[in-house]
Structure 1
Amino acid sequence: MPAAYQPTGQSGTKNPSLRKQLRQRRRQLDHFTQRHNAIRLTHRINRSLTWRGSRRIAFYQAIDGEIDPAGLLKKAWVQGKICYLPVLHPFHPHRLVFVRVSRHSRLHRNRWGIAEPVPAVGRVASIKSLDLILVPLVGFDRQGHRLGMGKGFYDRALSFRAGRRFPRLIGLGHMCQESGETLRPAPWDVRMDQIATPRWSFGRLWPL
């Protein structure tokens, strides 16, 4: 049984300056590099066996220099996959739900400035029913540990995942977001099955 999530929402890493440093690295990437990295990552993920075998996939809206999965979202629609975006729970503000989206979905900005769909009846998925979740990150190490923004949204949403194979979890990042040190996860931090960057990937899934 995984440890109960701590209410502070803080990451397990003991070095808060590391998060600041890694956020700064991705923010410093110029528009050309951001776009180039996103295109390369889209090609890598799109030809992977994990992607091909997944039908219900959760994406995210990139902010703050995160690598943008918008190209993958467009490919998923063309390929007939069922696509979801994370939404802050309307009654439990520290929790995420995943809402089905189409090309025609209307989005609005949440309190963090992130575009998200309205969680309409019948379009909210059970997270356990998803095949694949693409997860944003601030930093990562080669053991699959993820450093997030420090709010704990994904760790809370994925707390059920211990000991399960699905949904598959792939953390997406730029190469510059690799930590120079092994991250020290807290008991509630959720490890990724795979870390994928534009150039390489590593983890427990088929090579990307």
Structure 2
Amino acid sequence: MQLNEQRVDIRKRMRNLRKNLSKEVQEQAAKSLYINISQVANITKNTRIGGYLSNDGEPDLSLVFKEMWSKKAKPHLPIIHPFTRTHLLFQEYEKNSPMKANRYGIFEPELNCSHICPVAELDFILTPLVAFDSQGNRLGMGGGYYDRTLAQIPDNAVKKPVLIGIAHQCQEVDALPIASWDVPLDYIVTPERIYCPDR
């Protein structure tokens, strides 16, 4: 089976698995993830964390956002870049942020250039994923948005965001078929485990 066929097959299987999780399982996963994420991402005043709004069975981060707002940290959500439409921007997400659905039906803040944070200046990025392995490899939905956006951070940058993949435990595979453009993660957090790949 060719690389692309393998990745398409994994995406299909893993998306079905997570979409079929019950409401009760998803709610418990959100609580456990909140605890585990706090072990990896230190949330203090002005901490800047890129997150996401759950879609397609992805784990819910709403408890993380509530904690950030309570500590005066600064959550950010991805926005599809209005000009370079294969990349993402990260914009601050406030309780009252005006929202709109993007081309995939996923809600994102209405663009406000004064609230955009350059990706390299985020402290942490919590990335959704479709599948992962214990080596820190991530398989996304196939659009390449995160890989293209994260590839813009220079290798010699003084500061880089810590990349944390967020998933349900059922999304783990033994080994992902990797493409040259895939950006590896620093951690992967599930409701059950925290993975810290040894690179």
TM-score by length of 2: 0.90
For 1:84, the aligned partner's letter is H
> How far has the Cα of 1:187 moved from its partner?
1.5
User: How has the CA–CA distance of structure 1 residues 170 and 13 changed in structure 2, closer, same or farther, with 3 Å as cutoff?
Assistant: farther
What CA distance in whole angstroms lies between the structure 2 residues aligned with 1:49 and 1:26? 23
For 1:102, the aligned partner's letter is E
Map of 2:121 onto structure 1: 129
Quick one: which of 1, 19, 27 aligns to 1:27? 19
State the Cα deviation string for residues 16-36 of structure 1 (Å, max 9, x = none): 211100111001101110111
> How far has the Cα of 1:60 moved from its partner?
0.3
Map of 1:70 onto structure 2: 62
What CA distance in whole angstroms lies between the structure 2 residues aligned with 1:101 and 1:29? 27
- Alignment of 1:150 with 2:123, yes or no, is no
Structure 1, gaps ≥5 residues long: 1-11
Contact 1:194 1:204 in 2 (8 A): yes
What CA distance in whole angstroms lies between the structure 2 residues aligned with 1:49 and 1:142? 16
Partner SS state of residue 51, structure 1: coil
> How far has the Cα of 1:166 moved from its partner?
1.6
Q: What percentage of residue pairs aligned between the two structures are identical?
A: 36
Partner SS state of residue 63, structure 1: coil
Map of 2:49 onto structure 1: 57
- Alignment of 1:172 with 2:166, yes or no, is yes
What CA distance in whole angstroms lies between the structure 2 residues aligned with 1:39 and 1:89? 31
- Alignment of 1:91 with 2:83, yes or no, is yes
What CA distance in whole angstroms lies between the structure 1 residues aligned with 2:169 and 2:40? 22
Map of 2:71 onto structure 1: 79
Structure 2, gaps ≥5 residues long: none
User: How has the CA–CA distance of structure 1 residues 62 and 182 changed in structure 2, closer, same or farther, with 3 Å as cutoff?
Assistant: same
> How far has the Cα of 1:126 moved from its partner?
0.7
User: How has the CA–CA distance of structure 1 residues 35 and 93 changed in structure 2, closer, same or farther, with 3 Å as cutoff?
Assistant: same
Root-mean-square deviation (Å): 1.8
Quick one: which of 175, 182, 185 aligns to 2:178? 185
- Range moving further from structure 2, 100-109 or 162-171: 162-171
Equivalences, count? 192
Contact 1:55 1:82 in 2 (8 A): yes
Partner SS state of residue 143, structure 1: coil
What CA distance in whole angstroms lies between the structure 1 residues aligned with 2:140 and 2:163? 14
